[in-house]
Amino acid sequence: MQNKTSDIKVAVDAIVFGYSKKEGVSLLLIQRKYEPYKNSWALPGGFVLADESLETAVIRELQEETGITVNYLEQLYSFGEPDRDPRQRVISIAYFGLVKTSQFRELKASTDAENAAWFSIKKLPALAFDHKQIIRQAVERLQSKIRYQPIGFELLDKKFPFSDLEKLYAALLDKEINRRNFSKKILSFDFLEETGELSKPEGKGRPSKMYRFNQKRYKELLKEGFHFEI
């Protein structure tokens, strides 16, 4: 057996983003309980079981380690440099997930076994393995994907004031947005609907209409050849 091929382990990692107006864009991390990198912060994830799909493995690990259920998940990239894990060869298929702000807050309740926490992507701790690089790639994917697919809504609550969407885009793209033009563009797409409700004013200013993303309408538009683009 000259060319050993069977001792490569297969793992999955999850890069899960959340968002709040206060904290901005945040990332879900766990604190490792074992060597290597014991006590370091790292991406949630683990080895794939013999008969589960990759996606199932991610969902399972996220549930086990953080109690979180994502409402958007897609494969990001596979990382397989021979030396990325000091113990043995491990290739990791990284998945990219988004959770709504309501879930985002509820983290602590469901996690006492593992130590899991949200970190603002502007203030990340030192990270295990090549996870820093993986996260960089995930942030790039998020920033580019938000421009041509309406995944921003997966980070907001079901109902949200329009200004929340605007602030989210400003935070994600890290630049100011022209309020007038942004709302004209988004509303012209015709996949947002008013719920009829008004937001309770948070201290100051006029209350805003609440909106809801109409998934069904969006799917219809896609069939008609519509292309989302910011």
Partner DNA sequence: GCAAAAGTGTTTGCGCTACACCCATGC
Partner DNA sequence: GCATGGGTGTAGCGCAAACACTTTTGC
Q: Binding residues for its own copies, per CB under 8 A? A: 3-10, 47-54, 75, 77-78, 80-82, 89, 91, 93
Taking the complex as a whole, the smallest distance from the CB of residue 106 to its own copies amounts, in Å, to: 28
CA dihedral 199, 147, 130, 93 (to 10 degrees): 100
Q: Closest CB to its own copies among 80 and 201?
A: 80
- Is residue 184 close enough to count as binding DNA by CB under 7 A? yes
Number of H helices, E strands in the chain: 6, 10
The secondary element (H helix, E strand) that includes residue 55 is helix 54-66
181 binds, among its own copies, DNA, none (CB under 5 to 8 A by kind): DNA
Minimum distance from residue 182 beta carbon to DNA (Å): 8
Q: Does 38 bind DNA (CB under 7 A)?
A: no
Q: How far is the CB of 144 from its own copies (least distance, A)?
A: 10
Q: Which is nearer to DNA, 39 or 195 (CB)?
A: 195
Applying the rule CB under 7 A, the residues between 109 and 168 that interact with DNA are: 161-163
Question: Could you write out the DSSP letters of every residue in 78-145?
Answer: EE--TTSSSSS-EEEEEEEEE--HHHHHTTGGG-SSSEEEEEETTS---BSTTHHHHHHHHHHHHHHH
Whether the Cβ atoms of residue 137 and residue 76 lie closer than 8 Å to each other:
yes
203 binds DNA (CB under 7 A): yes
CB 37 within 8 A of CB 21: no
**Residues contributing to the site for DNA (CB under 7 A):** 161-163, 178-181, 183-185, 188, 198, 201, 203-209
